[in-house]
Every structure is written in C-alpha cells, then in structure tokens.
Structure 1
Amino acid sequence: MRAVVLGGTGFLGRHIHAAFQDAGARVVPVSRSDATHTDLTTDSGLRSLAELLARIRPHAVVNAAGRAWQADERQMAEGNAELVDRLIGVLAAQDHRPRLIHLGSVHEYGPGHAGTSTAEEHPAAPTTPYGRTKLLGTRSVLRAVAAGEADGVVLRLANVSGPGTPRGSLLRQVADHLVEAARAQDRGETPAALRFRTLAVRRDFVDARDVADAVLAAAAAPLSSVNGQIVNIGRGEAVRMRHLVARMVALSGLPVEVVEDADGRSLREDAQWQRLDVSKARRLLGWHPHRDLDRSLRDLLDTACVPVRGEEREEAQT
C-alpha cells in the first residue's frame, strides 16, 4: 500500500505515519514543517501535492491536517473547511482515485445527552468554532462522494490523548503544570495547585495510536462498505474530567492539589457529556480500541517529561 498523510508531522499525523510504516506501507508525510514545507493553504502547496499524488499514485490520502488549539475562528475555517475543499479539487483532477480518509471530530455533534451514546445518525449541531468548521469539512467530503467526485470516509474522532498530546489541550496543560511542579519540588518548594473552574464534565477519550489503527482499517476495508460513511472512533466511555486530572497527578507521584473554583482555568464547555457509539466501527472496520486510559496517560506524561512515579495501576473509570 502507498499512502500520503496530510499533517504528517503533527500529533495524529506522526502516529498515523508510524502505523502505516509498521504495516509495511510506503507512506509520505506532507506538512508545512517537513522537508518539503508544503503549505496546503497556498496555490503552490496544492500544486506540489498534485505532483506528489501523480507521481506515487497512493491508495489512500489521510487528512490529518487542521487547526484546533491556539487558533481563531478564521484560522480554523481555513484549516478545517477551506483546505478540505481545495484538497477535494486536487483529488478530483487526478487520473487515479485514492481513498480519502478525513478525520472529523466529536465536537461536530455538539452537546450530548447524559447517559446516552451518540451514534453517527445523530443530528450535528456544533456550538463552538472548532466544531462548526470541522463539520463544514466533513460535509464537503460527503458531498464530493455523493457527486461521484471522490471516494472517501470520515472518521469522527473522540477527544484524543496519548504520547505527544499538543500544547493547548487540557491534558497537556496538566502535564506541563506537573513538569513545573517537579522542578519546584526539586528546589524544595511547594508545587502550585492545579486550578479549574469545574471538572465535572464527562468526555470520551481515545488514544492516538488507536486512531492510527482505525485509519489503517479504513484504508484496507472494502470501498463499498465505507465510501460516503461517517464512522465514530472513540472508547465509548464518558469519563469525568476530574478523574482524569486526578489520575495524572497520582501517576506523577507529585503532591499537587487539584482545586475547582471561580479563579481557575475553564474547559471547552460546549458539552457536559460526550460518549460515542462505536458499534459501527466494529461492524465496518473490525476496529476497537486496545489502549486503556491509564496507558495513554502514562505515555502522555512520559513524552511531556513528567516522571511517572505512581506505583499503583488503575484504569480510568467513568
């Protein structure tokens, strides 16, 4: 198999690249920060991509590019929606048709209902700029497939954790705080408390390496079973953020207090409850998550340079 991964040097792109390599595929990463410096928001970047696709004729093109953290709505629109339209134009002009695997987001659904799982048929009603712009990208892919202009599948991802989790995300903020806490302890000082306005919300989290496995499964699945489909990728669990943060502190072994008060930092509060129904992924892709949240959090802390000192093992609970 030959594959091209857009955003191939980013958080998810690196894991997807590695998974294709481990499977024996020839995989080419494309991003602004790799050796080619391919910026897909420019005409020259799109020409470079078109030349690459014509040269290697990939079986799959994975869109792991986009903007989530530390971006305004205009930047999100450019990276999550307009880029997808431009990519579809490049694919439609090729004399062969690779399979487009587009990574969507649970935030496209908007708020979930407590105690329920959100299936792919649930009406999309995003309430954040990120969710709205990601939904525009998803709809562009589905329209192109319906019009016969592309072959494609959308993997709608839960919140993603694991090694390399990017700055700006809540879990990385916790990890960075623990780095500073370890330094303070080494200086003989009392580490500062972690402060949040609330950690009562529940989120579905999936490890980035499980996402990469899902991408491989989507690339290998019969086209007739996935073309034009949205497929949820998550653990199918609604985990309280309070527990995740406390668990990261426990794994670090550092004496850091977690405080919820009005002066703390806020979460993305577009939904109090998120839990994906992942039965379609099992049915169409033969996929299910393999990494538990404890492993995902430990590996996140390790790559953020937080010593994992906690001896106890405990899987994160809902």
Structure 2
Amino acid sequence: MSVNDRRAGGRGGGAAGSVVVLGATGFVGRHVCEVFDAAGWRVTGVARSVHGPATPYEMTALDVVDADAERIAELLAERGASTVVNAAGAVWQATEDDMTRANADLVRRLVSATAPLPARPRLVQLGSVHEYGPVPRTGITEDTPTAPVTPYGRSKLAGARALLDAAAEGRAEGVVLRVSNVSGPGTHRASLLGMVAHHLATSAPEPLRLAPLLAHRDFVDVRDVAAAALAAARSNTTGQVFNIGGGQATSVRSLVHRLTELAGAAAEIVEAPSAGGRPPEAEWQRMDIGRARRLLGWSPRRSLDDSLRDLLAHARAAAHREPLSSALQVTPTTMAVSDHR
C-alpha cells in the first residue's frame, strides 16, 4: 500500500489519521515522520528545503517560520490534517530574535491557522525542559513553576502558552510535550553529545576541550520522543502539559566517558573552564513522567546505552561520507561548552 493510498481516519483507539509534521528534516522531526509512517498514518513532512534522500512519506517545501497563517491553513486543509506535530524551532547558532520567531510566533500563527478550519486538527507542540528553568533537586512535575533563564527557554515557553491559552479558550485542541535533553542517532553536532560523538568518530588528533562537566541532566532517546508524539496524537486529552524524559538525573560526565568507552578510541577530552567565560554549572534535572504514563500510555523504551551506541554509529557513518578535511574543520577542539543540551 503506497502512502497515497492510506485512508485518513479519526483519533482514538490507535486509528491512523493524516499528520503534518513541521520541521520534518530536523533531528526530531525526521524520527516523528518515521514513527507515524510506520503506524500507518498519512504523513506530510514540511521543511524549508526537502532536497535529500527519498522518503516513504510525502514532503512539502515551505518555510513555516515566514509563512502567514493563511498559507499554513491552506496547506493543512490540502492535506486533510487531523494532527499537526510542531517539531520546528530554533536553538543552535540562533539569535534571540530567531528563537522568538521560530519558537513562539510560529505557534501563535499555527493556532490562528487551525482555528477556522472545518475539521480543526489536533496540535502537538514539542516544548522543552528549559521552559522550567533551574529547579531544586526534586523531580520536575508539570506543576513545577516555569521560570526560564535563557532566550531559548523563554521563547519555547511563549509558544507553549500560546497553545495552552488557545485550548483553554476553545480556540485550539492540543497538548504540549515538554521534552528533556534528547540523544540518539542524528543528535545535532552543536550539542554536547553530538560534538563528542563527532570528535570520536573522526578520530581528531587534537583534544576536545569542554567546560567542567558538573551537570546531572535528564536524557531521552529521540525515537522515544517520536513515540510520545504519536501517543499524544492518539489521545483525546487537550490543554495539558506532559513531561517527556528518561525520568532520571544522569551525570553528564559519565555519559561523555561512556561514549569514549563505546568508541574504543584514544581521543583526548579535556575539562577546563574557558578564560573569562561563565562559571561552570552544577545543574540537576530529573523529569517526573508519571502523567505521560497514566494519560498517554507512554514511557521510554530505549536505554541510554542503546541511545549512545546508535548516536556513535550515526556519527561514524556521517564522518565516513565527509571528506577528511571537512570533518576535521568542523571538529571544535577549543570550544568550552557550558550548555550541555
């Protein structure tokens, strides 16, 4: 059965529908498309550029960050979308204005786009643990006060509130998934784990210099995040926040050491504060995922070891496709990292 032959159905009971995934070529968006496609949904992936390997689902080129609400509504109507998963956004190498436009303004326009549609689609907004900000050493529940301290966290919270307020007023239907730190195959090279995996995969001779790895953070595999989006699409719950994470605080230093063990490489990794940089953080983070278990029937299935192993395999495959000179040029050997997302 081809993707065009799949019938779009209703939600609930695991029935397939028609889903539009924004940010479909991104790290999380690609996996979301794959999970929905495997579950029998009619998938339309939307991204600024759709050039690349062929996919078993349809892809549409549209820069949703710049598109107005009318154009987004037209696309959703054309595709008969019963669900929209917003995996678009900006974090790496982005200005505060970029983050506001991609993480907050886009959600407001998405809400406006769905409001007048005859069959209003369900919105699944992929938020972030950074919406909570620093927290004491207790589990982060959905009732934990939100007090983000970074432009990224503030912009993601503004997007979440846009959907939650609209749902409370009956102008939208959907939920916010606040996702912890994501690992697994395809992790962005600008993130800590992605950077380390790339360094190990390219066998760069220079040491990789990082800020002191003092944090304990909650990590979840990207494929488990995609499964959570599918569970949220199948649910009839609306106007709620769900924490999506691994449910435990893990030493960031231990993860970096484990990556080096799995790589079996002799690459040198040095922890040292950067001159004139921010003091090292000793952040502690653990997501309480009980609500997602109870109401969505979701819980993470992949171990951190599996996630790290697949991350490393993906990084090695990517490095193998790159010219050696290019791979070494992008290896950050002198970067001090204070944000280990």
Q: TM-score scaled to structure 2, two decimals?
A: 0.82
Cα displacement (A) at 1:192 = 2.6
What pairs with 1:64-75 in structure 2 (closer than 5 Å)? 64-75=87-98
Corresponding residue to 2:252 among 222, 241, 257? 241
Q: Match of 2:162?
A: 140
Equivalent pair of 1:165/1:300 in contact (CA under 8 Å): yes
Query: Any stretches of 5+ residues in structure 2 without a counterpart?
Result: 1-16, 51-58, 319-341
1:231 partnered with 2:242? yes
Q: Is the 8 A contact 1:117 1:275 kept in 2?
A: yes
Partner of 1:42: 66
Look up the match of 1:310.
Answer: none
Q: Deviations over 1:53-73 (max 9, x none)?
A: 112322211010000111111
Match of residue 197 from structure 2: 175
| Structure 1 letter corresponding to 2:102 | G
TM-score when scaled to structure 1? 0.88
> Size of the alignment, in residue pairs?
294
Alpha-carbon shift at residue 306 of structure 1 (Å): 6.5
Give 1:13's aligned residue. 29
Q: 2:42 aligned to 26, 30, 40, which one? A: 26
Distance in 1, matches of 2:279 and 2:62, equals: 31
Q: Which moved more, 1:137-146 or 1:89-98?
A: 89-98
1:93 to 107, 116, 122: 116
SS in 1 for 2:316: coil
Query: Which of the numbers 131, 140, 155 marks the counterpart of 1:108?
Result: 131
Note if 1:293 corresponds to 2:304: yes
Contact 1:197 1:265 in 2 (8 A): no
The separation in 1 between residues aligned to 2:259 and 2:271, in whole angstroms, is 16
Shift of 1:83: 0.7
Answer yes or no: is the 8 Å Cα contact 1:112–1:271 preserved in 2: no
AA aligned opposite 1:59: S
Aligned residue identity for 1:215: A
SS at 1:166 equivalent: coil
Alpha-carbon offset, residue 168 of structure 1? 1.2
**Which residue number corresponds to residue 124 of structure 1?**
146
Q: CA deviation at 1:261?
A: 1.5
| Native 8 Å contact 1:197 1:264 kept in 2 | no
**Hey, what's the Cα distance between the residues in 1 that align with 2:160 and 2:248?**
23
Over 3 Å counting, the alpha-carbon distance change for 1:17 and 1:268 in structure 2 is farther
1:251-293 Cα distance to aligned partner (Å, 9 max, x none): 1101123322224998997770111000000000011000001
Give % identity: 52
User: Can you list the C-alpha shifts for 1:222-273, whole angstroms capped at 9, x where unaligned?
Assistant: x2xx200000000111111100111111111011233222249989977701
Q: Give, in angstroms, the shift of residue 179 of structure 1.
A: 2.7
Q: CA deviation at 1:160?
A: 0.4
- Cα distance between partner residues in 1 of 2:277 and 2:37: 38
Q: Identify the residue that residue 79 of structure 2 maps to in structure 1.
A: 56
Report if the CA contact (8 A) 2:45-2:60 is conserved. no
Determine helix, strand or coil for the equivalent of 1:305: helix
- Structure 1 unaligned residues grouped into runs of 5+: 185-190, 308-318
Q: Is 1:77 aligned to 2:103, yes or no?
A: no
Go from structure 1 to structure 2 and tell me whether the alpha carbon gap of 1:17 and 1:270 turns closer, same or farther (over 3 Å shift).
farther
Give the structure 2 partner of residue 220 of structure 1.
234
